[in-house]
Structure 1
Amino acid sequence: MPGIKQRIQNILQLVPFPAVAMEVVQLVDNPKTSAAKLGEVISKDQALAAKVLKVANSPFYGFPKQISTINFAIVVLGFETLKEIVLSVSLASSLANKLDKEFDLEKFWKHSLLTGIIAKHLAKDFGYRVTGEAFTAGLLHDVGLLVIAQYFKKEFQSIVQIGKREEFQFEQIERRFLENSTHFEIGAWLAEKWNFPDQLVEAISFHHQPHLAPRNPQLPALVFLAELICHKLGIENIEYADHDRTFTENLKDVLNILKLDESFLNDGFIETYKARIQADIVKNQIYLSQT
Structure 2
Amino acid sequence: MRIDAHHHLWDLTAVHYPWLMETGAVRFFGDPTPIQRNYLLPEFRNDAKGFSASVHIQVGAADPWAEAHWIQSVADQNPDWPLVQVAFCDLTAPDVTAQLDRLQTLASVRGVRQIIGRAPGEDQLSGTNDLLDNPRFLDGLKQLGDRGLSFDLQLLPELMVQTATVLAQAPATRVALCHAGSPHDRSEQGLQRWAQALHHLSALPQVTCKLSGLGMFDHNWSADSVRPIVDTCLTQFRPDRCMFGSNFPVDSLSSTYAVLVERHGALVPEQDHDLVFGDSARQFYRI
TM-score normalised over the length of structure 2: 0.32
In terms of fraction of residues, the more helix-rich structure is 1
TM-score normalised over the length of structure 1: 0.31
In terms of fraction of residues, the more strand-rich structure is 2
Q: Which of 1 and 2 has greater Rg?
A: 1
